[in-house]
Chain A
């Protein structure tokens, strides 16, 4: 079958079209989906596009920011409210990819992509599906992401980060400036909010972005200096099973993770 493309003006219609067919894929920005088309992926033959402006909204929602799933990396970079995410958006692909790739699509990106999702995991984002007011935590979303492939994300809600220094991100690549990551680390160090305010997430250290729970516990109440973070570095890869792929071996990832984590936490990384 040739691939069919449908464009819907309303999100509801697009969601219905996706639900009707197991062979349908929702088109975010197409940077992953159209590559799959070009490579002859036979797991789908319908592409559902949606031009509903609700997907492109970035709006303040109390203490949170709600970002429409169709917002591109370029728009994240250019919007004042999401300026603290600009360092993440800027390292996704090259200019052409950034002007098309969406934050919603990034949630479904397989290895070695998905840096934005790593950042959203550290920020404790809430994922809201179309037609579902509740939303799920990103931790839950990632846990059974595979079973949610045919659901359409409408928006992603993240806390407003007051002090930009509280959110840190690094992408480790072999090829600069736009090689795929062998690892990325995002840290949200919101220590003023008391217990549970520290979240650290790794990308490409497992099949999908994953939290470094041992690191988070070790950083609880610790000062961000060499002595304060020593314990966190010791447990940098605890509970993780880093993959071996074309970019790095599992062993290498384990060896360098504490180095990059240290630079990130001390703010001594090379930009």
Chain B
């Protein structure tokens, strides 16, 4: 079926003179794909390639008493066993590159594992089979701990601590609250005035992106003491920055080559493979490949996280929704990958494409002993949109209204104030509903058919609520951002007292000085917690407590304006 464009709805908003947008176009990689000529990372061949496979936890949650690799090291073809202590900076959070969240996840676990499949050692061997055989010979003495797999169980007072960086199993937003808040108007007052209260609970499970090409990377020594890395990453510079941090290597020593990704859908941004492949090269001097097999892709490859939503609406008899309250729980798995950010995105989207004068949301990013969750197509929005639309049908049923007409009635219109305090523009939900009804031969009233997104908005609907109720629920003390990027900060980070990890949540990351490494060496020199070296050209900063206040404002797409 040809695509049908309804450009008339936006005719007065822009000239239709764009060359690509709104026009059918051929994908640039299509010819390569259908003729089998697109090169993928695994198509790059190297002499003497070594293969990396990880020893993984069979438990959801367990302390590592000891790891015995002596047998594995003696297996034929094994070149090196990598443990957590071999990783120069073995604690990271993906979004530290954007200055969001605390480092909470090791590349290779040292003290304990928090999800099934978490790596505790990596074998570098001549062949994949030799690596597998050696993996089977690693003996780990586990102390199995109680685990928690449900988001609401995980935040009960006596729940097992999944992630020591966040001892309450909740991500900390803006160093202040254990959840992301949205406050707009006064929902409680509106509930008292409403004719109906409609409540619902919605739940979706994790979804694996299931790419045809499993995640992986091949690294090799390159000229000028650099490392080349062919990778399946969807986020090349993100992966480069993450590798630089974990390996304490300046990014200019790494040459990352991406390109055709054999299916990504968000599942290839976590940057786990590039650092380990490069570390393998550093430790052996030979090219190394680290690639998930299919079972790993399914068990360990980070999925779209599960979400649970509770929605409570205050509705009038005529179908107008006057208040909407959300409580959301995102299952981040054992560590923070991108669920924390997904919530920021999702909360900005509430209450969906509707104009509702009172909105309230508490959304929690919860740590459970599940596989860490990451990005996938519109993540942060899709789950709550499913919940909202399912709930709209429930509201329609409660007030005895046609579900499409209910949506048109409550739809946002151009000029309306949204709960995130921006004016709505280019809205088209009304038209979308009308066209959907027409295509489905669904009868809607003449009144609903006459509506348009251009009319009825603005005016009173453009105003912020006269009064917004705020609260300090979920307030926490003692958290400060990891400030990976805040190189001029002279303050030590304030980690929560309970947050003692293998290495304290600490240290400004300092790129290691350039140092030619000897190819014969199989050990990488490890600098434990180097004291911050003076930077080349720092702006002199008085070491006073309030110097933060004088730092310039910086705009961050995930946390708004930040002072640093």
**A residues engaging B (CB < 8 A)?**
1-3, 38-40, 42, 45
Given A39-B293, A39-B294, the answer on whether A2 and B132 have CB atoms closer than 8 Å is no
Q: Is B128 an interface position by the 8 A CB rule? A: yes
B130/A1 in contact, CB under 8 A: yes
Mark contacts of B117-156 with chain A using CB atoms, 8 A cut-off: 1 yes-contact digit, 0 otherwise.
0000000000111101100100000000000000000000
B128/A40 in contact, CB under 8 A: yes
B294 CB contacts on chain A under 8 angstroms: 39
Cα(A147)–Cα(B132), bound, Å: 26
B136/A2 in contact, CB under 8 A: no
A40/B130 in contact, CB under 8 A: no
A42/B293 in contact, CB under 8 A: no
B295/A39 in contact, CB under 8 A: yes
Q: Shortest distance in angstroms between A98's beta carbon and chain B's nearest beta carbon?
A: 22
A42 CB contacts on chain B under 8 angstroms: 129, 132-133, 136
B293/A1 in contact, CB under 8 A: no
Cα(A42)–Cα(B131), bound, Å: 11
A38 CB contacts on chain B under 8 angstroms: 293
Apart from A1-B76, A1-B129, A40-B293, what 7 extra A-B contacts exist at CB < 8 Å?
A2-B127, A38-B293, A39-B294, A42-B129, A42-B132, A42-B136, A45-B129
Question: B residues 280-333 with Cβ under 8 Å of A?
Answer: 293-295
Of the A-B pairs whose beta carbons lie under 8 Å apart in the complex, a sample of 17, sorted by A's number, is: A1-B76, A1-B130, A1-B133, A2-B77, A2-B130, A3-B129, A38-B293, A39-B293, A39-B294, A39-B295, A40-B128, A40-B129, A40-B132, A40-B293, A42-B129, A42-B132, A42-B136
Cα(A3)–Cα(B294), bound, Å: 20
Cα(A151)–Cα(B418), bound, Å: 72
Cα(A211)–Cα(B136), bound, Å: 39
Question: B residues 507-542 with Cβ under 8 Å of A?
Answer: none
Which A-B residue pairs are the 9 nearest by beta carbons?
A: A40-B132, A2-B127, A2-B129, A42-B132, A42-B133, A3-B129, A42-B136, A39-B293, A40-B293
Chain B CB count within 10 A is highest, among A2, A3, A42, for A2
**B residues engaging A (CB < 8 A)?**
76-77, 127-130, 132-133, 136, 293-295
| CB-CB nearest in chain A for B53 | A40
Q: Shortest distance in angstroms between B244's beta carbon and chain A's nearest beta carbon?
A: 31
Cα(A40)–Cα(B133), bound, Å: 9
Cα(A42)–Cα(B294), bound, Å: 16
Cα(A3)–Cα(B132), bound, Å: 12
Q: Shortest distance in angstroms between B291's beta carbon and chain A's nearest beta carbon?
A: 12
Q: Shortest distance in angstroms between B301's beta carbon and chain A's nearest beta carbon?
A: 16
Cα(A2)–Cα(B76), bound, Å: 10
Cα(A3)–Cα(B136), bound, Å: 16
A2 CB contacts on chain B under 8 angstroms: 77, 127, 129-130
| CB-CB nearest in chain B for A38 | B293
Q: Shortest distance in angstroms between B561's beta carbon and chain A's nearest beta carbon?
A: 48
Q: Shortest distance in angstroms between B17's beta carbon and chain A's nearest beta carbon?
A: 45
Q: Shortest distance in angstroms between B329's beta carbon and chain A's nearest beta carbon?
A: 27
A1 CB contacts on chain B under 8 angstroms: 76, 129-130, 133
B295 CB contacts on chain A under 8 angstroms: 39
A39 CB contacts on chain B under 8 angstroms: 293-295
B130 CB contacts on chain A under 8 angstroms: 1-2
Q: Shortest distance in angstroms between A36's beta carbon and chain B's nearest beta carbon?
A: 12
Q: Shortest distance in angstroms between A102's beta carbon and chain B's nearest beta carbon?
A: 24
A40 CB contacts on chain B under 8 angstroms: 128-129, 132, 293
B132 CB contacts on chain A under 8 angstroms: 40, 42
B76 CB contacts on chain A under 8 angstroms: 1
B77 CB contacts on chain A under 8 angstroms: 2
A3 CB contacts on chain B under 8 angstroms: 129
Q: Shortest distance in angstroms between A45's beta carbon and chain B's nearest beta carbon?
A: 8
B133 CB contacts on chain A under 8 angstroms: 1, 42
Q: Shortest distance in angstroms between B292's beta carbon and chain A's nearest beta carbon?
A: 12
Cα(A176)–Cα(B367), bound, Å: 39
Q: Shortest distance in angstroms between A125's beta carbon and chain B's nearest beta carbon?
A: 34
Cα(A45)–Cα(B133), bound, Å: 11
Q: Shortest distance in angstroms between A121's beta carbon and chain B's nearest beta carbon?
A: 31
Cα(A1)–Cα(B129), bound, Å: 7
Cα(A2)–Cα(B127), bound, Å: 7
| CB-CB nearest in chain A for B127 | A2
Cα(A2)–Cα(B136), bound, Å: 15
Q: Shortest distance in angstroms between A247's beta carbon and chain B's nearest beta carbon?
A: 16
Cα(A191)–Cα(B295), bound, Å: 48
Q: Shortest distance in angstroms between B50's beta carbon and chain A's nearest beta carbon?
A: 14
Q: Shortest distance in angstroms between B262's beta carbon and chain A's nearest beta carbon?
A: 16
Cα(A97)–Cα(B173), bound, Å: 53
Cα(A3)–Cα(B127), bound, Å: 10
| CB-CB nearest in chain A for B136 | A42
Q: Shortest distance in angstroms between A187's beta carbon and chain B's nearest beta carbon?
A: 36
| CB-CB nearest in chain A for B130 | A2
Q: Shortest distance in angstroms between A94's beta carbon and chain B's nearest beta carbon?
A: 16
Cα(A38)–Cα(B133), bound, Å: 14
| CB-CB nearest in chain B for A39 | B293
Q: Shortest distance in angstroms between A240's beta carbon and chain B's nearest beta carbon?
A: 30
Cα(A2)–Cα(B132), bound, Å: 10
Q: Shortest distance in angstroms between A3's beta carbon and chain B's nearest beta carbon?
A: 6
Cα(A175)–Cα(B76), bound, Å: 44
Cα(A40)–Cα(B130), bound, Å: 10
Q: Shortest distance in angstroms between A46's beta carbon and chain B's nearest beta carbon?
A: 12
Q: Shortest distance in angstroms between A5's beta carbon and chain B's nearest beta carbon?
A: 13
| CB-CB nearest in chain B for A45 | B129
Q: Shortest distance in angstroms between A212's beta carbon and chain B's nearest beta carbon?
A: 34
Chain B CB count within 10 A is highest, among A1, A38, A45, for A1
| CB-CB nearest in chain B for A37 | B129
| CB-CB nearest in chain B for A35 | B294
Cα(A39)–Cα(B132), bound, Å: 10
Q: Shortest distance in angstroms between B55's beta carbon and chain A's nearest beta carbon?
A: 13
B128 CB contacts on chain A under 8 angstroms: 40
| CB-CB nearest in chain A for B76 | A1
| CB-CB nearest in chain A for B75 | A1
| CB-CB nearest in chain A for B132 | A40
A45 CB contacts on chain B under 8 angstroms: 129
Cα(A1)–Cα(B136), bound, Å: 13
Cα(A2)–Cα(B129), bound, Å: 6
Q: Shortest distance in angstroms between A180's beta carbon and chain B's nearest beta carbon?
A: 15
Cα(A46)–Cα(B294), bound, Å: 23
Cα(A1)–Cα(B132), bound, Å: 10
Cα(A39)–Cα(B295), bound, Å: 8
Cα(A129)–Cα(B240), bound, Å: 58
Cα(A2)–Cα(B51), bound, Å: 13
Cα(A42)–Cα(B135), bound, Å: 11
Cα(A52)–Cα(B136), bound, Å: 37
